[in-house]
Amino acid sequence: MTKRLFAVVGIVLLSVQVFAFQAPPGQPPAGQAPPAQGEFLPIDQLPASEQLPAAPLLIVAYAFVWIAVFFYVWTVWRRLNKVEAEMRVFEKRQSHRGEGAPGVNRTQPR
Amino acid sequence: MEKVFVPLAVVTAAMFAYAPFAIAQAPYESTMLLIQKIFYFHVPSWMAMYAAIAVCGVASVVHLFKNRPAADRLAVSAAELAVLFGAMGLVTGPLWGRKAWGVWWQWDARLTMALLLELVFISYLLVRTYGGPGSDKLAATVGLFGLAVSPFVYVSVNFWRTVHPLNTVVPTLRTGMLGPFWLCAAAFLLLFALLLMLRTRLATEQAMLDDLYLADEE
């Protein structure tokens, strides 16, 4: 009787072991945290060749803003100078036409 | 207007001179760290673009319905500035995204619509340059379209959740970040006002010269 009981318990334990062995890996026992994954590294532990430095991107962004502003101001200044030069030429031409010609009226446009 | 220009330019220059120190002192954002500091120029450049769109749209409406050439000159000046500030936002954004998202560009709703808005104002300028006689009215409708579309670009990120952060970022900023942000926002809006004055002066002088040539021909 005792022998039979030991045999049954032995078979049950063996089956449990076999089933436990066949269970999918990575299933942590209840109440325990899953183990850390080996494939992922914190970003600050990456090798230098893999890291993307922020400073050059930041510098390019700020530099672009300033270059764009200065370039735009330069283009407006150039166009303004061109218009004013043209206006001076026009005034000179008007003054050469003599007294009878209508003078240049530099009033505000509509 | 010219009396205001110089004091305003001095104030703006002082603000931009102080801005790098304020930005450097602002706390780092916990996940993005240094690259997040692009935010202090990126968001204000979009704010300046929206201001330019508002001015262009309203001036276009006035020109369309009341036929005021002065409003047209203001609209064309503002459209040029909308393209300028939009370009700043479209360049600084991908530089930030490359580090924060790992990609230069995503064809998500916000980014795509912002690009389209920039293209609307580029088309405004192209219509003005190559459209010939009557192009001012056609361009005014383009400006009005840009104004009508811009609120949808702003709220698009709330409807299509993608990689771009929500519009709730600014109200939830930490105290140390709010000061530098509003300093930069005010500096960008003042810069917009200054450039608008300068560009409107150019448009006015061009119109004066055109009037002189017309009077001479007559």
Give the domain CATH number at B26.
1.20.120
**Residue A21's pLDDT is what?**
44
**Residue A24's pLDDT is what?**
46
What is the residue range of B174's domain?
2-217
Of A54, A76, A86, the CB nearest to B99: A54
Put simply, the answer to whether A52 touches B99 (Cβ < 8 Å) is: yes
Whole-structure pTM value: 0.81
Task: Please provide residue A53's backbone torsions phi and psi, each rounded to the nearest 5 degrees.
Answer: -70, 140
pLDDT (mean) for A61-81: 97
Which chain B residue has the Cα nearest residue A52?
A: B99
Put simply, the answer to whether A109 touches B96 (Cβ < 8 Å) is: no
With an 8 Å Cβ cutoff, the interface of chain B facing chain A consists of: 33-35, 37-38, 41-42, 45, 68-70, 84, 87-88, 91-92, 95-96, 98-99, 191, 195, 198-199, 201-202, 204-213, 215-216
pLDDT at A102 over 60: no
Higher-pLDDT residue of B61 and A98 is B61
Which chain B residue has the Cα nearest residue A94?
A: B216
pLDDT (mean) for B26-45: 92
Window 45-64 of A, Cβ < 8 Å to B: 52, 54-55, 57-58, 60-62, 64
**Residue A23's pLDDT is what?**
45
pLDDT (mean) for A68-81: 97
| Total count of domains within chain B | 1
**Residue B96's pLDDT is what?**
94
Contacts 24+ apart (CB under 8 A), A66-70: A68/B84, A68/B87, A68/B88, A68/B91, A69/B84, A69/B191, A69/B195
**Residue A2's pLDDT is what?**
60
Put simply, the answer to whether A58 touches B34 (Cβ < 8 Å) is: yes
Of B99, B202, B211, the CB nearest to A79: B202
Buried b (16+ CB within 10 A) or exposed e, A77-97: eeebeebeeebeebeeebeee
* Gap between the Cα atoms of B153 and B53, Å rounded: 12
Tell me the per-residue pLDDT of B104-136, one tens digit each, with 9 for 90 and over. Answer: 999 999 999 999 999 999 999 999 999 988 899
Of B35, B87, B210, the CB nearest to A58: B35
pLDDT at B76 over 90: yes
